[in-house]
Amino acid sequence: MAKPQVALYWAASCGGCDVAVLDTNEKILDIANIADIVFWPIALDFKYHHVEAMKDGAIDLCLFNGAVRSSEQEKIAKLLRAKSKVMVAFGACACFGGIPALANFTNRAGIFERAYIEAESNDNPDSTYPQTLVKVPEGELELPELYDTVLTLAQVVDVEYYVPGCPPPVDIILKTIDLFATGRLPPPGSVIASDKTLCDECDRIKGEKKITRIYRPHEITPDPERCLLEQGIICCGPVTRGGCGLRCIKANMPCRGCFGPPPGVTDQGAKLVSAIASIYQGESEEDIARMVEEIVDPAGTFYRFGLADSMLKRKRMQPPEGRA
């Protein structure tokens, strides 16, 4: 029997998800033993036209990492969807937008202004912006179009499975491959991780959740044994899916939420507003004002990985500013 065909792709991502696949170390050879990798831009020299030449459904499993924020990424997402039997949103960006989706606090015009005009290191006296089409003596040059809004993979194509994490930990990658190879994949729509919250899996000492001050991580050296939230550090553990192996917590850093919301939670950020405000002690107007001030950037902190997948999906821009 022919080996299953596997494709990997990166869209709006940092490359860390691809490195995580390589972090499986010698197990990568097992993956290569059970499957033929037919497309993997970061590692192998296959081109888009190789994928275009395949029959629909020829790829058995596609691990797609990165969010979708350009015309090229959308085109390849749709191409790979047509060619793949099973599409996996691989990593926090493909699942929830991830760090790139923080761009949803602005839009293309705002990004271009900052990156090509305002940035201190720029030398751009003619205010040149990237163009999708430029005529030069040799012909026309094309660039993909950058979108105003960063999208999750599932907002662009149908997705069968979600493998969260920034990046997905090695044990979950191997579990996904194993479930696929042995034909034991769960029902479509499943998230391949834990069904508990990170707090449920955390082994720190937990007492009564009452805090009187919020500390930013650089303002305090936390006790490595005790619950970080109880020490006044914003930890996304109560509103984040577990299964990550507590990587940040073991490094004495709070959870940033890269596994997305747990089952039953639609909006990770709104849930964390509720949780943090609940445990903060103080009833006077001054106490409440202090809490609001201490949480310097609630939207950026609570939707660090999940803005594209949140109820609002992006900052609401005032027209006509948003029309780029």
Partner 1 sequence: MKAARRVPLLKKMLAQLGIEEERVRLDWVSASEADRFASIVNEMTEQIKQLGPFNRNGGGNDG
89: contact with partner 1 by CB under 8 A: no
Residue 200 CB-half CA count within 13 A: 11
Q: Which of 33, 27, 24 is nearest to 3 (CA)?
A: 33
Do 17 and 167 touch, CB atoms closer than 8 A? yes
Among 280, 304, 305, 306, binds partner 1 (CB under 8 A): 280
Task: Decide whether 109 or 181 has the Cβ nearer to partner 1.
Answer: 109
Give the nearest distance from C-beta 85 to partner 1 in angstroms.
Answer: 28
- Residue type at 74 in one-letter notation: E
Apex CA 249: angle with CA 253 and CA 282, to 5°? 65
Q: Which stretch binds partner 1 (CB under 8 A): 173-181, 193-201, 230-238, 307-315?
A: 307-315
Name the segment binding partner 1 (CB under 8 A); options: 13-21, 48-56, 198-206, 312-320. 312-320
- 8-state DSSP, 226: B
318: Cβ contacts below 8 Å, ≥ 6 apart: none
d(CA 191, CA 164): 7
Residue 295 in the binding site for partner 1 (CB under 8 A): yes
Whichever of 223 and 297 has its CB closer to partner 1, that residue is: 297
189 or 300: CB nearest partner 1:
300
Least Å distance between CB 212 and partner 1? Answer: 12
| Part of the chain binding partner 1 (CB under 8 A), chosen from 11-19, 86-94, 217-225, 296-304 | 296-304
Q: Does 26 bind partner 1 (CB under 8 A)?
A: no
d(CA 201, CA 242): 7
Q: In terms of DSSP bridges, do strands 59-65 and 84-90 run parallel, antiparallel, or are they unpaired?
A: parallel
**Binding residues with partner 1: total (CB under 8 A):** 41
3 in helix, strand or coil? coil
Residues engaged in binding partner 1 (CB under 8 A): 104-105, 107, 147-149, 151, 155, 269-270, 273-274, 276-278, 280, 282-283, 288-289, 291-292, 295, 297-300, 302, 312-324
